[in-house]
Chains A and B, each alone.
Chain A
Amino acid sequence: MINSSSDNVKKLNSINRRMFITGSLKFFVMIGIVSRLFFLQVKENKKYLTLSDKNRIREWKLAPVRGEFHDYFGNVIAGNFEAYQLHVIPEQVEDFRYVIYRLKDLLELSDLEFKKVLKKKNEIKPWETLIVSDNLSWQKFSKINNHLYDLNGVKPVISISRNYPFKENFTHLVGYVSQANQDDIESTQAIKKNFVPGLKVGKVGLEKTFEEKLIGTNDIERYEVNAYGRRISQLEFQKGEKGKTLRLTIDTEVQKLANELLKDQAGSICVMDIYTGAVIAMHSSPSFDPNLFVFGISQDDWQLIRNDPMKPLVNKTLQGNYSPGSTIKPIVALSALENGIVNTSFTVRCTGKTEMYGQTYHCWKKKGHGYVSLRNAMKQSCDTYFYEVARKLGVDKLSETAKKFGLGEKVFGNLFDIEKKGLIPNTQWKKNALGKGWLLGETIITGIGQGYIQTTPIQLCLMTAQIANGGYKIYPHLVVDDKVKDQPIDKFTPLYKNSKNIKIVQDAIFGSTNEVMGTSYRSRIDNPKYQFAGKTGTAQVKKITEEERELDLKTFQIPYEQRDHALYVAFGPYKNPRYALSVIVEHGGNGSTTAAPMATKLFKLIIDRHKIRESLRNKKYLEI
């Protein structure tokens, strides 16, 4: 017993000692846990609270409302309209099959469209919105609304979308919007920032150029969501800002007339204020309806536009490189005057053709013009005279003057990425580009706007405007900008050496339109209010062979692609010039018969509209 009890005591001592050790260990471990809790819940609380909110709060961005385009008078060129859409949230529909087939009947969906909807449905989560139709007609929309009792879970929604009320009238200028693709997102920061699925962004034209201003900012909805992304409740709605509305210098009436004049023909018309550089109209024909692109163009429509031989997708005003033909003659004359090569009394005898350096150069008039001075040569567009002048002037001096007046350079700078520079050749250029020496014969044909020289219609318009305003530099623009500080400093710097020379050229151009024998005499307007001065041009698309020259075919007898381009540049009213224009009709035949009559109609309207435009400008600050 004693043995056993002493053993018991030892055992008790041992167990109690170990209990003490265990107890102390427990104490320290407990402190460890409490300090961990303290660390997480008190010290790091903020961090984890943020993480928890990040977990449970999710933002949904809604497409921003795009800024509009207005014309000078406030008419909406590119606006927003309420598109009627049909949304279905699959999990809220009791019998999805029934509803979707019912919708198919009601909306008269084709099998292809129907399959697309079903495919979309399989791609989204059941609580996400399925857009069955993004642009319903009012009839169908109201039909759906009448059948809503039968369509559980179907939501008719009014959403805001782009609309171009003037359809094809402004397509090349304003461009169009369509669904943003990967390239758009990567290239433009504003698109990346505001991107939501289905976001429409500018693809060409000003819509693309001013994307950052137009896009606006997203509406943001904040929802509490669960771990599976299902929305539980809305916490906040943050209204986005509508994009900036841009007012253009364009006059819709003039733009519409330009459309009408070029209907069924390929070509371009642009009209410009010769002092402010404001572009009044800028049209490239043929055009197409930009509304087609907003909800994705159908394959048929796309093929129709793409395969049109008149190339509606090309903006001819900015991208079209044309030989200027005789419309370059004012610059040739001016350059010769400025460089002292000729004076007003210098005459050349035109016999219809002239031999130079072993080659025969023809004047457009077979019989010749006889003895012509500068004024007469310009008036009758005598080629022989300008061959001689160009020969004496040399291409380098000519190109210098031409470049000064805006040829060979982008008119709008970086505004349009598609704009072409045209080409004003000189000896240096040829050596660099073609690696060959300049031939004198090339100078001679450059004098009548043929050969290497290429200009865009907007350049011709600018050139004419700068001659018309007395030879001062202007910067064409399309957007009315109240900020004067952005004006380039060299605006209105003189481009001439002697202002008299400009006057001489202006007068010669006046003769060309308003005097008997002038090339556009038939298109003149006698009323001094509308009286304008213009220079015709006929640009050959191919070299005329001797044989063809003998045949002397009428325009309609030549195949379309081989007909000459008809050009016309003009400014008016002559007494007190204000506007300049350029007209180009591709394969239109002759400048004086095809292009010049359009100018007549245009000037009547432009000058009538001028008063309205001026009164608006004067009232501008009062109205706001």
Chain B
Amino acid sequence: MYQHTRLTTNRLGFFQKFRNFDYILLVCILLLGFISLATMYSTDGGEIKFHTKSHFTKLAVFTLMMLIMSFINIKYWFSIGYLAYVVVVGLLIGTYLFGITSSGSQRWINLYFINLQPSELMKIFIIVCLAKFFHRMKLENVNSIYTILTSLIIILLPMGLVIVQPDLGTAVLIAISGIAVLWFAGINYKYFIYTILGFIISLPFVIAFLKPYQKLRVLTFLNPDKDPLGAGYQIIQSKIAVGSGGIFGKGFLKGTQSYLEFLPEKHTDFIFTLFSEEFGFVGSAILLVIYAIIIYRIVAIGASSRSYFAKIFCYSFGAAIFVFITINMSMVLGLLPIVGSPLPIMSYGGSSMLATMIGFGIVMSARVHNQQLIA
């Protein structure tokens, strides 16, 4: 096996790798970074303050990291798949044991140089791990009990660790990342259909087990006007901000809803609201187009990759990113209950950006080494 791999390896020179870059994807990511910086500048009230500076630093460091990652052979990312998963699970356990508590949940772990949110990283590394898991598997084995059980354990272990933080939103996103891989790996349709049916049937029981604040969120989503100053406040204010933006928006730095502090969490989960208020329907549509191009490029890179690992990773990552974006936007537009889910790249938050950039890095690496086969 190793011999085979070595034989088919075509070592690329530095400039060759450079030429293999997906520049459309890179430009879109940089553009997105620029937009997110401008939006962050607006949340700081039109001044360069803490959030803008910090976001800029993270953006610069992580973009650089992504570029470096793309020069590293996709083989390498394949080889660390399980290890990375184990390390992140270890970090999650560490978070559970010695994590930093903030606003009622224990999500962060102090790594001396950085406060990390391992659950965010898990969104990516669960894809890497499962992609590796399915890479070697023959299609007839995919639907075996062993495979399904193993992959379920791989998904449920970090989910459980995240749920106890408690952070249901991120746990759901991790599950979605994992399920995306299962979907592309070729698990039988019927399992998905059964799962969906089972979920719908068990929904009332799930709701019964939810924490009071989570129940409130669901109820609030169903009827935000019930308690407009309490639980419904976020959804209502967010909708007002977006709706009042109109076609062309109120103008950069002129979003009254955010400027006058009616918007909650405007740096993180509700960043799209602010953007949408200031740049209107046209701006939001452009932002969506940028995201669409990014996802399209990710999928295209997957399609052009020779290795199954790269393919399944790209497809799953593309689907996961899409779901993250959709959930965040649906939430701020009042289509889904409030679950804590950041908008990739746009939202303030280092761990989320790190995870996304790692994802992009692996995708870019798959692009640069798209002729690479992994046995």
Contact = CB atoms under 8 A, between A and B. Distances in A.
Contacts of A33: 288, 326, 329-330, 333, 335
Given A26-B295, A224-B260, A11 B243 contact: no
A341 interface: no
B34 interface: no
Given A15-B312, A23-B299, A37-B284, A49 B246 contact: yes
Contacts of A30: 288, 292
B244 interface: yes
Contacts of B185: 15
A381 B288 CA distance: 105
Contacts of A47: 243
A30 B291 CA distance: 10
Contact of A55 (B184, B240, B242): B240
A37 B325 CA distance: 14
A400 interface: no
B290 to A, nearest CB: 12
B240 to A, nearest CB: 5
Contact of B244 (A8, A51, A224, A228): A51
A40 B329 CA distance: 13
Contacts of B326: 29, 33
A48 interface: yes
Interface in B340-366: none
B299 A19 contact: yes
Interface string B208-252: 000000000000000000000000000001011111111100000
Interface in A4-25: 7-8, 10-12, 14-16, 18-19, 22-23
Given A18-B184, A22-B315, A29-B326, A41 B139 contact: no
A226 B299 contact: no
Determine the interface band of chain B, counting residues with CB < 8 A from chain A: 35 or more
Contacts of A32: 335
A55 B299 contact: no
A226 B260 CA distance: 4
Contacts of B333: 33, 36-37, 40
A37 B285 contact: yes
Interface string B172-216: 000000000001111000000000000000000000000000000
A222 interface: no
A384 to B, nearest CB: 83
Interface in B263-304: 276, 280-281, 284-285, 288, 292, 295, 299, 302-303
B67 interface: no
Nearest to A22: B319
B261 interface: yes
B243 A48 contact: yes
Contacts of B19: none
A56 B315 CA distance: 45
Interface class of chain B by DSSP: helix
Contacts of A55: 237, 240, 256-257, 260, 262
A453 B303 CA distance: 111
Interface residues of A, number: 39
Contacts of A45: 243-247
Contacts of B292: 30
A18 B276 CA distance: 33
Contacts of A15: 184-186, 308, 311-312, 315
Contacts of A544: none
A227 interface: yes
Contact of A10 (B139, B280, B335): B139
B281 A42 contact: yes
Contacts of A23: 299
Interface in A450-493: none
A225 interface: yes
A42 B280 CA distance: 9
A1 B131 CA distance: 22
Contact of B241 (A52, A224, A228): A52
A34 interface: yes
B240 A36 contact: no
A241 interface: no
B241 A14 contact: no
Contacts of A41: 242-243, 245-247, 276, 280-281, 284
Contacts of A18: 183-184, 186, 315
Contacts of A11: 139, 186, 308
Interface in A309-346: none
Contacts of A14: 139, 186
Contacts of B140: 7
A37 B292 CA distance: 16
A37 B281 contact: yes
A44 interface: yes
B256 A56 contact: yes
Contact of B239 (A12, A34, A48, A232): A48
Nearest to B260: A226
A586 B70 CA distance: 109
A42 B138 CA distance: 51
A81 interface: no
A51 B299 contact: no
A38 interface: yes
B322 interface: yes
A224 B256 contact: yes
Most B C-beta atoms less than 10 A away, residue of A26, A41, A55, A224: A41
Contacts of B322: 26, 29
Contacts of B330: 33, 36
A187 B161 CA distance: 63
B332 to A, nearest CB: 10
B288 A34 contact: yes
B260 A232 contact: yes
Nearest to B311: A15
Given A14-B139, A22-B319, A37-B333, A42 B246 contact: yes
A44 B184 contact: no
B239 A40 contact: yes
Interface string A216-253: 00000000111110001000000000000000000000
A44 B139 CA distance: 50
Interface in B125-143: 138-140
Contact of A42 (B237, B247, B260, B335): B247
Contacts of B281: 37-38, 41-42
Given A15-B311, A18-B186, A19-B184, A40 B139 contact: no
Between B139, B185, B292, B322, the greatest number of chain A beta carbons within 10 A of the residue's beta carbon is seen for: B139
A49 B257 CA distance: 10
B139 A34 contact: no
Contacts of A225: 260
B246 A19 contact: no
Contacts of B261: 226-228
B259 to A, nearest CB: 8
B262 A48 contact: no
A287 B73 CA distance: 103
Contacts of B245: 41, 45
B260 A49 contact: no
Contacts of B139: 7, 10-11, 14
11 contacts: A15-B185, A18-B183, A22-B315, A29-B326, A37-B242, A41-B242, A41-B246, A42-B281, A52-B257, A226-B260, A227-B260
Given A15-B312, A52-B243, A56-B256, 12 more contacts: A11-B186, A14-B139, A16-B303, A19-B303, A32-B335, A37-B276, A45-B246, A49-B246, A52-B240, A55-B256, A227-B262, A232-B260
Interface of B: 138-140, 183-186, 237, 239-247, 256-257, 260-262, 276, 280-281, 284-285, 288, 292, 295, 299, 302-303, 308, 311-312, 315, 319, 322, 326, 329-330, 333, 335
Listed from nearest, the 8 A-B pairs whose CB atoms lie closest are A48-B243, A52-B244, A226-B260, A41-B281, A227-B261, A14-B186, A40-B243, A48-B244
Interface of A: 7-8, 10-12, 14-16, 18-19, 22-23, 26, 29-30, 32-34, 36-38, 40-42, 44-45, 47-49, 51-52, 55-56, 224-228, 232
